[in-house]
Amino acid sequence: MGANDMRASTRDSSEAVIVALGLTRRFGNVTAVDHLDLRVRRAEVYGFLGPNGCGKSTTIRMLCGLLTASEGSVRVLGHQLPVDAEAVKRRIGYMTQKFSLYEDLSVAENLEFLAAVYGLVGRNATARIAELFEQYHLGELRRQLAGTLSGGQKQRLALAGAVMHKPELLLLDEPTSAVDPQSRRDFWESLFKLADAGTTLLVSTHYMDEAERCHRLAILDRGRLVADGSPTELMADLPGMTLRVDSDQPRRLQEALAAEPHVLGVAQIGASLRVLTDRKDDGVAWLRDALKNVGVTADVEPTEPNLEDVFVAVTRGRKEDGQ
């Protein structure tokens, strides 16, 4: 964690690769993305965290120049979108949420096609493809049809295709949704290798553990940016507090606390409860009072917040605004 922070701070001074201001996209009367402000710096891994339908894919598509914004402005790699969309497309890689290479072509044929599309010919193409086979462990699968690959193999192929032309900016839309935990870790190793080599990455995800690995991340909820910063910043700025409660009646206590105002979430972890409250500093005292009212004796200790707490706190807060 500390190493990541150090790297992130040296990046602060470097230029912004993506700058979006007031980015908005409507489909009919649905506002999929609502006045989003974003700044992604060079060579960082920037995460997009949010539930289904919060507008992650729509935002990424606008950043690639695939969709035009209804409102707002976007600059990607110094190019204004959508006017300079074609220039942007040469310099970015995009990995779609759904597998979008050809299922009826083999692994090698898919990569040959992409190499040619990106203007790699002859020996250059062969060399680059061999390199990608090596990097993403695709060599043995080269003759297999892409449609018959496993989920994890497909993701590797899609990543290899997206980095064919060594893009400066790589946008990945939920790249690990169909992948087992080990493959997910390996996949993230590949992403960090790319970042170390100077590639900027924007990754959308549902997974907290993945979000936690990002240098910085944005939390989206119903099209809006509800929080952004590095994971440590976000956890430090948690608008509330996380408490550990040990008692001999955890189930009863959980029900009682869930009904309590100021409680954003209660989760049972083993024999103890993890309580998220929106009380900032007086959380411990407040909860002890609350427990007295319920009539249960329990130990209350403050505990380290995690990203999930941040996520629940910022999205719950907005739900109550809305109601």
Partner 1 sequence: MSAGRLFAVFRKELRQLSRDKLTFGMIIGIPTLQLLLFGFAINLDIRHLPAAVLDESNTWRSRELVAELASSQVLDFRQHVSSPQQIDNLLRSGDIGAAVVIPRDFEARLERGTEAAWQVMVNGSDQSVQAAARQLASFPLSSLQYRPGIAAVRPVEIVNFYNPERRAQINTVPGLIGVILTMTMTIFTGMAIVRERERGNMEMLIATPLSPLELTLGKVLPYVGIGLIQVTLILILGLLVFDVPVRGSLVDVYLAALVYIAATLSLGIFISTLAKTQFQAMQMAFFLFLPQILLSGFMFPYDGMPRFAQWIAEIFPLTHFLRLIRAVMLRGAGLGELWIELVTLIVFVMVMLAIAVRRFRKSLD
Ligand X SMILES: Nc1ncnc2c1ncn2[C@@H]1O[C@H](COP(=O)(O)OP(=O)(O)OP(=O)(O)O)[C@@H](O)[C@H]1O
Residues found near ligand X in the complex (CB under 6 A): 27, 30, 32, 50, 52-58, 97
Give the CB-side neighbour count of residue 236, counting CA atoms within 13 A.
5
Picked from partner 1, Mg ion, ligand X, none, the partner binding residue 274 (CB below 5 to 8 A depending on kind) is: none
Interaction mask 50-89, Mg ion, x per CB under 5 A: ------xx--------------------------------
Query: Considering only residues 71, 118, 144, 208, which one is a binding residue for partner 1 as defined by CB under 8 A?
Result: 118
Query: Considering only residues 19, 21, 66, 178, which one is a binding residue for partner 1 as defined by CB under 8 A?
Result: 66
Find, among 75, 17, 60, the residue nearest to 42 by Cα. 17
Query: What values do phi and psi take at 129, rounded to 5?
Result: -65, -40
Size of the site for Mg ion (CB under 5 A): 3
Binding of residue 277 to Mg ion (CB under 5 A): no
Q: Check: CB of residue 39 under 8 Å from CB of residue 225.
A: no
| Whole-angstrom distance, CA of residue 73 vs CA of residue 19 | 8
Residue 141: DSSP 8-state: G
| Whole-angstrom distance, CA of residue 112 vs CA of residue 91 | 19
Cβ proximity to partner 1, 165 vs 316, nearer residue: 165
Cβ proximity to ligand X, 146 vs 218, nearer residue: 218
Cβ proximity to ligand X, 30 vs 117, nearer residue: 30
Cβ proximity to Mg ion, 214 vs 313, nearer residue: 214
Picked from partner 1, Mg ion, ligand X, none, the partner binding residue 50 (CB below 5 to 8 A depending on kind) is: ligand X
Give all strands of the β-sheet with 16-27 in edge-to-edge order. 30-41, 16-27, 71-76, 79-81
